[in-house]
Structure 1
Amino acid sequence: MEILAFGVQSDEKPLIERAFDGHCEVRCLDVFLTEDTAPIAAGHEIVSSSVNAELGPRVLEILAAGGTRMIAQRSTGFNNIDLDAAGRLGMTVARVSYYSPYSVAEFAWTLGMAVNRRVVRAANRTRDFDFRLDGLMGRDMHGRTAGVLGTGKIGEAFTRIAHGFGMRLLGWDVAENPACMELGMKYVPKQQLLAESDLVTLHLPLMPETQHLIDAAALRSMKDDAILVNSSRGGLVDTRALVAELREGRFTGVGLDVYEAEAGLFFVDRSLEAVDDDTLARLVTFPNVLVTSHQAYYTEDAVAQIVDTTVRNVLDYLAGRRSENVLVPALARS
């Protein structure tokens, strides 16, 4: 049996091929799974998708018509998949429920410190042999307040780093994490966290309840000199509202590894094309904003775990086994 994997990065390909070796054949494609590319999967019972795949009802119908019965998503998030439609079509859907939380937490700190200490601006200057310090002043994180929205595994890892910096810790989540509380975190209402934090970081899943969690009102409640970091899901932040606040000269820095309209933009080279997303185009012009390409998870350790779990999900499906990674229950294979 051949597995068809969509949206595979060049660094990821050898890991996928090595992990599947001895189990199944795998063909890796660099194109993403969309309505236009879905017909390529015809004749493949199992398809592996990336986080930026567009798996709405129409795409799932095309896949099902071509014989696909199982989708193995190579990510934790699954807001890009219409699970109800997959269930109606008799398709099994599995994800990667866990991988290294340190990859994302460490990168979130990378973004926060890069905008705080003006690292990109400094690097661009020194390439032109401009070694002035004007405009490069940052702030100590020690003694300041970190607000963590979402204190699961990644939020906890971020909190441990913040504790190492000697920061005051505020948290907000539906459930309190005892490990974070042992580090001194105080759980407070979201409004209080936003108002008191010098650095706000997001580590939440995207769902209807969290869509635009950071909206215009939330942004206005933050300190004028706060730092905002989002390495989770782009839809957590109302980007238009963020741009409006940035135009007013607010925030010391904003570090974004995700963008709410990133599908079709991120993970591909658009450098020679005209990008028609005016919001993103405006966002990247602000000197205190750093946008990266959804790479927080992209470490050897995390990607290896993602690939290994994907292989296990496929083997579980073929054997008729269930695991905590299954989002839409497996049906008996004919």
Structure 2
Amino acid sequence: MKIAVFSTKSYDQEYFEKYNEKYGYIFSFYETALNADTARLSADCDVVCVFVNDVVNEETIQILASNGVKLIALRCAGYNNVDLEAAEKADIKVVRVPAYSPEAVAEHALALILTLNRKTHKAYNRVREGNFSLKNLIGFNLNNKVIGVIGTGKIGATFCKILKGFGCKILAFDISKNDELIELGVEFLPLEEVLKQADIISLHCPLNKHTKHIVNENSIASMKDGVMIINTSRGALINTAEAIEGLKNRKIGYLGIDVYEQEENLFFEDLSEHIIQDDMILRLLSFPNVLITSHQAYFTKEAMNQITIITLENIKSFENNTELKNVVR
């Protein structure tokens, strides 16, 4: 079984090679992202393995199909970058990793909250320069704050459980209620009420036509003054331009994001010696109350182990013509 792995970083190759002894697959690792221009690299391969910023649209899929590719193996949970209709027409199966380590992402969301609130990143830099002043480092207690959680799947549910330990009041919105969370004291309300009442809003929902730009000018206007917004899910859940306006007029008091609408041109790359052309990200970086990490919420040893193993097992199931438990339809 020949597999072309796109958007490969050194750690991806390390983990696939570590676990491949059991499977014996032939990998071709490519640093480049998959798109219509690079799809030719899949020639003679049975499978392509892709990540969050690969562009698997209809044009790309047609090229994959002509090259004989029969399986698209996502090594992530989200699949909004794949044209599923085009894949079905081309008779190409799509599989994903639906749950690898919800704790990894939920804990990173908490890290963004604590860092923004207590300004530990700024304190660290100050102390290293011999500045031991506490001026402008004041934060607030998380205890008794109202946390709004949008999406209570595995990650959102784990996040709720963690924040319960801080003594927070948790309000949640999802298209289906989670009975386990209700027993823990999480209150499910309509989206408008969650946005209106929360001191901190954390996004844990997938990106689709219903959730795109769920944070926009109108929803921001309904939020509390000085609200904290956290996004560890998908960049396009937030309308970046309208969030910037919210920051400028101080409606948004804090913004922590691990994902960004245009991240495919930025994240996972070292651009320290380049002139960044994205004016939106540069504007966000200019705010003292904005914290950006580069899609690292998933990045723990435990998560990488699970992502690799589940991806390989997905491919094995396809190879053996057995049930594809993680197929995306």
Q: Which range, TM-score by smaller chain?
A: over 0.9
**Gaps spanning 5+ residues in structure 1: where?**
329-334
1:81-128 deviations in whole A, cap 9, x for unaligned?
Answer: 001111111211111122111010000000011101112222222232
- Residue in 2 aligned with 1:183? 184
- Residue in 2 aligned with 1:9? 9
- From the superposition, tell whether residues 265 and 35 of structure 1 become closer, same or farther in structure 2 (CA, over 3 Å): farther
Residue 327 of structure 1 deviates from its aligned partner by 1.6
Q: Distance in 2 between matches of 1:218 and 1:119?
A: 29
- Residue in 1 aligned with 2:41? 40
Residue 70 of structure 1 deviates from its aligned partner by 1.1
1:34–1:54 CA contact under 8 A, matched in 2: yes
Residue 52 of structure 1 deviates from its aligned partner by 1.2
2:7–2:31 CA contact under 8 A, matched in 1: yes
2:2–2:44 CA contact under 8 A, matched in 1: no
Q: Distance in 1 between matches of 2:122 and 2:222?
A: 28
1:1-334 aligned within 5 A? 1-23=1-23, 24-328=25-329
1:97–1:324 CA contact under 8 A, matched in 2: no
1:231-282 deviations in whole A, cap 9, x for unaligned?
Answer: 0011111111000111112333111000011112211122222222211110
- Any idea what SS the aligned residue of 2:215 has? coil
What code does the residue aligned with 1:14 have?
E
Q: Distance in 2 between matches of 1:19 and 1:158?
A: 30
What code does the residue aligned with 2:326 have?
N
1:272-303 deviations in whole A, cap 9, x for unaligned?
Answer: 22222211110111100001111111111111
Residue 71 of structure 1 deviates from its aligned partner by 1.0
What code does the residue aligned with 2:9 have?
Q
Q: Distance in 2 between matches of 1:145 and 1:251?
A: 15
- Any idea what SS the aligned residue of 2:22 has? coil
Q: Distance in 1 between matches of 2:247 and 2:253?
A: 10
Q: Distance in 1 between matches of 2:239 and 2:253?
A: 18
1:116–1:252 CA contact under 8 A, matched in 2: no
1:172–1:188 CA contact under 8 A, matched in 2: yes
The 10-residue stretch of structure 1 (131-140 or 189-198) with the greater mean CA deviation from structure 2: 189-198
- Any idea what SS the aligned residue of 1:27 has? strand
- Any idea what SS the aligned residue of 1:201 has? strand
What code does the residue aligned with 1:137 have?
I
1:115–1:252 CA contact under 8 A, matched in 2: no
1:144-179 deviations in whole A, cap 9, x for unaligned?
Answer: 111111111111111111110001110111111111
| TM-score, normalised via structure 2 length | 0.96
- Any idea what SS the aligned residue of 1:72 has? strand
- Residue in 2 aligned with 1:331? none
- Any idea what SS the aligned residue of 1:228 has? strand
Q: Distance in 1 between matches of 2:61 and 2:124?
A: 45
What code does the residue aligned with 1:77 have?
G
Q: Distance in 2 between matches of 1:269 and 1:33?
A: 19
- Residue in 2 aligned with 1:332? none
Q: Distance in 1 between matches of 2:22 and 2:196?
A: 54
Task: Tell me the number of residue pairs that the alignment of Structure 1 and Structure 2 aligns.
Answer: 328
Residue 229 of structure 1 deviates from its aligned partner by 0.4
What code does the residue aligned with 2:318 have?
Y
RMSD: 1.3
State, as a whole percentage, how many aligned pairs show the same letter. Answer: 37
